[in-house]
Structure 1
Amino acid sequence: MISIKDIAKKAGVSISTVSYALNGNPKVTEETRMRILKIAQELNYVPNAAARTLKNRVSKIIGVYLSDFSGAFYGEVLQGMKEVLNKRGYDLIVCSGSYSHRWLPQRMIDGAIVLDHSFASEELLHLAGNGHKVVVLDRELNHPNVNQVLLDNKAGASLAIEFLIEKGHRKLYVVSGPKGSYDSRQRMQAVKQTVERHPEVECIEIEGNFDKESGEKAAEQIIGEYKEPAAVFCLNDEMAIGVYNTVMRANYRIGEHIHLIGFDNIELTQYTQPRLATIDYSKRKWGTLASEQVLKLIAGEAVEHERIYVTLVEGESVGKG
């Protein structure tokens, strides 16, 4: 690989002169700068971005850490992040896995947005303690260099359960998410708190994994136990679609035999017939706020924790119990 040492040798100048020329430093004349730039082009010189980042301590890149790239959920969140960052002259890279955790201390990225339950809170607090800026979307952390932009999971789950109970349903199945998921834990807490206020309601929890396959597996159990109409709350829409498809294939009817509600209002739910009831919120706004907050942290501006609010989308997938 061509280095500035090679350029300096061909130009007959010092390495520092080449460095000044490449970085537009007024210490070199315009004539010298143009001559050095021409030689750099002839030699196909490519700047070492990593070295430049370490020197300047600014990369103009924000890393977003995700535990999973599959499903229909992440697109709008990432688009919201990208729009804000690009307008402010930043790029966005999507990261996963422990190796990419090094990019903050190595200053390959200027800040991180975390929606990855496998990224340990202890590690994030350690990074924040060393001055790195972090926005978390999936946990609560108390540190001046950490900001929270959290979804109102409890309100959403309470809306879903109250909706099913108001429709007259007294037998409920709840398909949960991964054990390590903050969102799943928050939603399950709200489910249990809501059901406790209605002792006439039977609630059965089925462990899921926030994917369509675990929804299909849950549906097989529900169908195997079927004796009378039942309501099912899936803690995300991916699992609800899995339940939906399996129930339909088994010649049961959604909204009559199995009453179903999800969470996230992904685009696919708009095309189901009957329309899937779900919990809605602005995923794009979630991403937008996360980007705005991490840029404020980097700029040293005051920030307050943010919350994304939710609403109920009624659908024909839930009828009267």
Structure 2
Amino acid sequence: MVGIKDVAKAAGVSVSTVSNALNGRKNVGEETRNKILQLCEEMQYFPNAAGKNLKSGTSNTILFNFSDFDRSFYLKIIEGINDYANANNFDLMICTNKSCEKYMRSNLTSGCITLDVKMGNEVMNRAANENYPIVVLDRVLDNPHIKSIVVNNYDPMVEMLQGVVDRGYRRFSFLGGLESTDDNSERYQAFLDVMEKNSIPFQRRNYYSGDYREKSGYTAAKIMTLSGEVPEVIVCANDNMAIGAIRAFHESGLRVPQDVAVTGFDDCDLAEAMGLTTVCIPNYERGYMAAQSLVDIIRGNSDMETLKISASIKWRKSVWDKRPRNMVK
């Protein structure tokens, strides 16, 4: 019977290094870890439950991948995934981009749900196959083994912004998230279409680049106040940036919405407390549906059609009606 000492000898490392590699500790280099895992498979050394999965080629574990710890809505998504997984006798493994790819294998996990802008399409296309389905929550990929569940960004953004225009606003700025993401592209396109429909001019210099984090919203609002170019309303591509902007405006003595209105997108935990007008994404349900879809595919019910999730508007005090009272219907 092969033991850990045999693996260590074959790899040219110590027994403790083999143990650390198998337990996922960070003090083992990626190249060494992969070499050890490969030798374990070749030598049929299976020390634990994960090893048994390697041997049998089966798993009952869902993998969820994300990387942005600054965005609280992930917790709701994880809660939804976990509730469905538990109810259907699946375990849940959570990891981040740097460590995720090595677990995207059918003998370690049953399939993967991912919401991570840092994970490239090539990684998912390489991992997905007939025995390893993937559900992706932030983009649409042309792969028969990858199902996309994405938010309908465009329609609710149009509805919210038309409501802002109807309340009398005419001078807009837009604070975008990561420009490489589909979410930002769709939300910004909705913004531009509403501006064009209402014959409201918009100059690119009034577009501010952020990264979906609160700090970038704070920085953008500070730049606006210091340059003297504060709009009537700043449309933010997500709530975190909107909350950062509100805090910066308050520090500068500006009132929201009396001096500047702010909108967001997501309806994160702080949005209601901050009185933020936003688009509400049902994130618990989003996670639940992702897990349900993945388990169905694992069990042979291969519905790989893209699913779009609807969202709703939450009107709060960060936007008010600027029209004279006799014009308000």
Task: Place the TM-score, normalised by the shorter chain, in its bin.
Answer: 0.7 to 0.9
- 1:189 is paired with a residue of what secondary structure? helix
Which residue in 2 is equivalent to 1:157?
Answer: 157
Q: Output one character per residue of 1:232-261: Cα deviation in whole Å (capped at 9) or x when no partner.
A: 111111111101111111111101111111
Determine if the alignment matches structure 1 residue 180 to structure 2 residue 188.
no
Distance 1:298 1:98, change over 3 A: same
Measure, in 2, the Cα distance between the counterparts of 1:189 and 1:85. 36
Which residue in 1 is equivalent to 2:260?
Answer: 258
Q: 2:240 aligns with which of 238, 245, 268?
A: 238
Which residue in 2 is equivalent to 1:124?
Answer: 124
Determine if the alignment matches structure 1 residue 101 to structure 2 residue 101.
yes
Determine if the alignment matches structure 1 residue 76 to structure 2 residue 62.
no
Contact 1:156-1:187 within 8 A present in 2 as well = no
Contact 1:117-1:182 within 8 A present in 2 as well = no
Which residue in 2 is equivalent to 1:309?
Answer: 310
Which residue in 1 is equivalent to 2:145?
Answer: 145
Measure, in 2, the Cα distance between the counterparts of 1:175 and 1:51. 48
Contact 2:59-2:106 within 8 A present in 1 as well = no
Contact 1:179-1:185 within 8 A present in 2 as well = yes
Q: Percent identity?
A: 25
What is the CA distance between 1:315 and its match in structure 2? 1.0
What is the CA distance between 1:106 and its match in structure 2? 6.0
Q: Higher Cα Rg: structure 1 or 2?
A: 1
Contact 1:229-1:256 within 8 A present in 2 as well = no
Determine if the alignment matches structure 1 residue 223 to structure 2 residue 211.
no
Q: Quote the RMSD (CA, aligned, Å).
A: 2.2
- 1:312 is paired with a residue of what secondary structure? strand
- 1:233 is paired with a residue of what secondary structure? strand
| TM-score, normalising length: structure 1 | 0.81
* Greater shift in the superposed pair: 220-229 or 169-178: 220-229
Measure, in 1, the Cα distance between the counterparts of 2:267 and 2:156. 11
Which residue in 2 is equivalent to 1:247?
Answer: 249
Q: Output one character per residue of 1:109-150: Cα deviation in whole Å (capped at 9) or x when no partner.
A: 110001112211122122224642000101111222111111
What is the CA distance between 1:107 and its match in structure 2? 2.4
Q: Output one character per residue of 1:151-196: Cα deviation in whole Å (capped at 9) or x when no partner.
A: 1111232123212211111111111101332211221122222222
Q: Output one character per residue of 1:175-234: Cα deviation in whole Å (capped at 9) or x when no partner.
A: 110133221122112222222222224352100111110011111122234467610111
- Structure 1 consecutive aligned stretches of length 4 or more whose deviation exceeds 4 Å: none
**Count of aligned pairs between the two proteins:** 278
Contact 1:145-1:297 within 8 A present in 2 as well = no
The amino acid that maps onto 1:257 is D
What is the CA distance between 1:319 and its match in structure 2? 1.6
